[in-house]
């Protein structure tokens, strides 16, 4: 995967005067097998905090993201890290899926072989 130009994505908190949260890097690793999971993504926030293992999944209504999770003792999967409101989740998803589309468009032959 080629490193694309540096971009900073700004997410705003929901409270008045909240600090900006910048997604300063998005790294997409395509999954080389057939199935619903298409890629695994890492995002960097403010060049200081990384969230790994965000999955890009093909669902009935199109692509969506699943935050990193682990299986609990009761058998249920629980997110390890996640946005606490839907607006932030939607913005993170849009940023990740835009980057995923960019990576897929830049490497069409390799993507088709995977």
Given this model, what pLDDT does residue 33 score?
80
pTM of the model: 0.76
Q: How far apart are CA 109 and CA 9, in angstroms?
A: 28
Q: Regarding beta strands 37-45 and 69-71, do their DSSP bridges make them parallel or antiparallel, or are they unpaired?
A: unpaired
Would you say residue 11 has pLDDT above 70? no
pLDDT of 17: 54
**pLDDT digits over 16-72, tens only?**
555 678 899 999 999 988 899 999 999 999 999 999 999 999 999 999 999 999 999
- Residue 111: per-residue pLDDT: 45
According to DSSP, the residues that pair with 83 across neighbouring strands are none
**Structure token digits, residue 31:** 């999954």
Domain residue spans of the chain: 9-70+77-113
The topology (CATH level 3) of 9-70+77-113 is Arylsulfatase, C-terminal domain (3.30.1120)
């Amino acid at each position: 995967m080629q490193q694309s130009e540096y971009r900073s994505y700004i997410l705003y908190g929901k409270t008045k005067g909240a600090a900006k949260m910048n997604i300063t890097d998005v790294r997409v690793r395509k999954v080389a097998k057939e199935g619903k999971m298409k890629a695994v993504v890492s995002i960097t926030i403010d060049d200081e905090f990384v969230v790994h293992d965000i999955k890009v999944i093909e669902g009935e209504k199109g692509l969506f993201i699943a935050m990193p999770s682990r299986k609990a003792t009761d058998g249920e999967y629980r997110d390890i890290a996640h946005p606490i409101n839907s607006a932030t989740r939607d913005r993170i998803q849009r940023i990740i899926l835009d980057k995923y589309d960019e990576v897929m468009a830049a490497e069409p032959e390799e993507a088709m072989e995977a």
